Structure 1
Amino acid sequence: MKDLQSFVSDYTKDKKHLQLVIGIIREGDIEYFSFCNDKKKSMIPPENRLFEICSITKVFTSILLLAMEQEKLISSDDTVGKYVQNVKNDYLNKISLKSLATHTSGLPVLAANHILSKNRSNPYSIYTEEDLIAFLSDADYTDRIDSFEYSNIGMGLLGNILCKVSGNTYDELLKKYITSPLKMNETAVMLDSEQNGRFLNGHASTGKRVPHWDLSIYEGAGGIKSSVSDLSLFVQANLNDDNPIASTLQKSHLPIWIGNSNRYFGWHEDKLLDKSIVWHNGASSGFNSYLAWNKELSLGIVLLSNYSFFSNSLIDYYFAQLRKLITRKEPTQGTMIDSIGKKIMEVIMQR
């Protein structure tokens, strides 16, 4: 796309350390584009640089559930209570693994006993399995069951259950059921030394470098690191039924009527130019990600950025307020790359 610069110029402006990579998938072909404001030259091709993909991880966790269900190791209709046996709480017997995968369990975005302010720079690292058990022991969101409520803790719990049932780590499950069959060799939670050399630094919306996140018990909700080349292969697999895990992916594409609306295993659905697009995004304090696809037109897009759309630091907030006081201008807000992705998707759909 020769005019891609016009779509990203507002986003790339004034981001000194920015690295933005885009993959466009059309009828089996993949094109990569990169925009880099960092003056340090790198020998690593942009398509092989690694980013935190954050909540796009949730799609992978949901597909792992479906893959294990196909092997009859688990059922998506099993209750959560069946797998949290050291907690006696009837609410857990009212919600299923399917509820966790579709965000309809009633569980909130974060556990009530998870205080982010205890470690703002790496807020998920301090939350342990003991904390999770303590939260689940008296959690009761029965009145919200079957209503959509986006839940990091719910998807983290699902990933934890899948690991315990299989006796494998999350990375071992990922490799067995998804990344190895699709030859996605750059996608994992725990990176090896070579991969770490390609793992970019993340930056807050202010431009400040921030630590990488350690997801701990939440790894199934947002722990994966990946490249635009790997995620483009993943989108391609979702568009093409001729791949080793096509039957599992196809199940994740089927809408499920829950409550009063359709839900998906891990995915979200939206309308663009009167056509359905399936998508997910992600954000940490240093990264932003987005992917979307339309199977009818065999089109998809992946965007990865090492800039967040928000800052998780109180210091950054106070600095922005001080700047506002001096300049009498509202502080610049970070922008999610979702809007760029949708604009580009619209253009390639029209063409």
Structure 2
Amino acid sequence: MDKAQDLDTLALATAERLARRHVGVAVAVVVGGQVAYAAAGTTGGADGGTPSADTLFEIGSVTKTFTALCLARMAVAGTVELDEPLARLLPEGTAVPSRGGQEITLRHLSTHTSGLPRLPKGMMLRALLRPRTPDPYAGCTADVLLSGLARTRLGSTPGRRVRYSNVGAGLLGLALARRAGTTYGQLVTTQVCTPLGMSSTGVAGDASRPGRLAQGHDSRRRPTPPWSLADLAGAGGLRSSATDLVSYVRAHLDCGSPELAEAVRLTRQVEHRDNRFSWMHLGWRAHRLHPRQGAHLQIWHNGETGGFASFVGFDPETGTAVIVLSNAQRPVDAPAFDLLRTLQDQATSRDARPGTL
């Protein structure tokens, strides 16, 4: 069996494994210059067809890596500075919390070290009062977010420790769009998607391609409405396809895109240790496996909305990457990590053999 067939088999095995508990799944694997796609299950739409490499899925918090890359591009261009206070990018008079004499900076927002809570102020109460709301983030307009920010107390001094924050990532997207004089969706298109030829990626209002968005399903596999996230889109509002995300991870694997190479390098130059085993880059989580597991580097992010789950992971040292997209609110991480490690092991074994290319 040749290398391409091996990749096809591995991708299909993962798609079929996930489809047994999900509804529909699309998988893509990258090893050097080789790419394989596989899918299983159904899109859940009227036609009930199998997902394809071009089917659109909500990618949830994988969006945060796009927001981080926008930050890096704008920093490289001199439009913003990583250590610029968030307050400078928000409307004049906006109250931004601080702690220990430290202001929240753009770097803090992208590495989840701002001290901000996970959810916007008052959102938990609204969810309890309206438990059946299809999109809990639908009311997160800029006015609501900034009003809540003024009433928020930080859980730690900015820059001190990692505390995962959806509201922080959403505020970063909102702030960057304000500095650029555009919407978040247009910002991502200009800074990331157009340079990489990713024509199918965008926020709900910008990526309304009839018939291509898979039907989302909750954890019990019941159909559920899509999410938009309003002005919190920078935290999880993008939709994308396996095809587009292959272009995206390739740009991160070899920094080969001339327009984005310096920005991609910057995202990985920034590191904040979460603990002795893992750390944060700009937007990305990262860890290195134990030597008994191959000591591989894994840079990754997952995502989940009310009807979808996603995973994007890669290793620039072995040139391998895995993309998994599902239209059910069930985690896909374990099979995705298993597949990534298999690819890494194979790449390392191949490179170690005398005479291999």
The verdict on a shared fold, with TM-score over 0.5 as the criterion, is yes
1:137 to 122, 147, 150: 150
Note if contact 2:200-2:207 (Cα within 8 Å) is conserved in structure 1.
Answer: no
Q: Could you tell me which residue of structure 2 aligns to residue 349 of structure 1?
A: 344
Contact conserved, 1:106 with 1:142, CA < 8 A, in 2? Answer: yes
Q: Does 1:102 align with 2:129?
A: no
- Would you say 1:25 and 2:36 are equivalent positions? no
Distance 2:43 2:211 in 1: 16
Q: 1:298 to 1:4 in 2, by over 3 A?
A: closer
Q: Secondary structure at the match of 1:253?
A: helix
Residue in structure 2 matching 1:249, options 244, 254, 264:
264
Contact 1:113–1:131 (Cα < 8 Å) also in 2:
no
Partner of 1:232: 246
CA separation of 1:257 and 1:225: change in aligned 2, threshold 3 A: closer
- The 1-side partners of 2:113 and 2:234 are apart by 17
User: Which residue does 1:207 correspond to in 2?
Assistant: 221
Q: 1:288 touches 1:305 (CA, 8 Å); kept in 2?
A: yes
Indicate yes or no: 2:203 matched with 1:189. Answer: yes
Letter of the 1:249 counterpart? V
Match of 1:338 in 2: 333
Alignment-mate amino acid for residue 82 of structure 1: R
Name the structure 2 match of 1:222: 236
CA distance in structure 2 between the aligned counterparts of 1:3 and 1:57, rounded to whole angstroms: 26
Q: 1:45 to 1:141 in 2, by over 3 A?
A: closer
Unmatched tracts of structure 1, length 5 or more: 310-335
Return closer, same or farther for 1:54/1:14 CA change in 2, 3 Å cut-off: closer
Q: CA separation in 1, counterparts of 2:205 and 2:37?
A: 23
Do the aligned partners of residues 88 and 101 (structure 1) sit closer, same or farther apart at CA in structure 2, a change above 3 Å counting?
same
Structure 1 position 251, deviation (Å): 0.9
> Closer, same or farther in 2 for the Cα pair 1:350/1:144, shift >3 Å?
same
Give the C-alpha shift of residue 207 in structure 1: 1.3
One-letter code aligned to 1:265:
L
Q: By how many angstroms is 1:90 displaced?
A: 5.3
Contact 2:188 2:202 in 1 (8 A): yes
Contact 2:301–2:313 (Cα < 8 Å) also in 1: yes
- TM-score by length of structure 1 reads 0.85
Tell me if 1:116 matches 2:116: no
Cα-to-partner distance string for 1:302-331 (whole Å, 9 max, x where unaligned) = 00000112xxxxxxxxxxxxxxxxxxxxxx
Query: What is the CA–CA distance in structure 1 between the aligned matches of 2:151 and 2:207, rounded to whole Å?
Result: 41
TM-fit CA distance, 1:176:
1.4
| Aligned equivalents of 1:89, 1:251: Cα separation in 2 | 26
Cα displacement (A) at 1:349: 1.4
1:69 paired to 2:75: yes
Choose the corresponding residue for 2:139, options 126, 151, 161: 126
For residues 166-206 of structure 1, what are the alpha-carbon distances to aligned partners after superposition, in whole Å with 9 as ceiling and x for unaligned?
A: 11111221121111111011101145687232011100121
Query: Quick one: distance in 1 between partners of 2:150 and 2:84?
Result: 19
Distance 1:232 1:10 in 2: 21
Whether the aligned pair in 2 keeps the contact of 1:57 and 1:224 (CA below 8 Å) is yes
Give the 3-state SS of the residue equivalent to 2:35 in structure 1: strand
Of the candidates 251, 276, 287, which is equivalent to residue 308 of structure 2? 287
Is the aligned partner of 1:11 residue 2:11? Answer: no
Deviation at 1:161, TM superposition (A): 0.5
RMSD of aligned alpha carbons: 2.3
Q: Determine the structure 2 residue equivalent to 1:268.
A: 285
Q: Kindly provide the amino acid, as one letter, of the partner of residue 256 in structure 1.
A: E
Counterpart residue type for residue 282 of structure 1: G
1:234 CA displacement: 0.5
Q: Tell me if structure 1 keeps the 8 A contact 2:118–2:164.
A: yes
Q: Residue 62 of structure 1 contacts residue 265 of structure 1 at CA under 8 Å; is this kept in 2?
A: yes
Deviation at 1:158, TM superposition (A): 0.5
Structure 2 CA distance for partners of 1:106 and 1:75, relative to 1, 3 Å: same
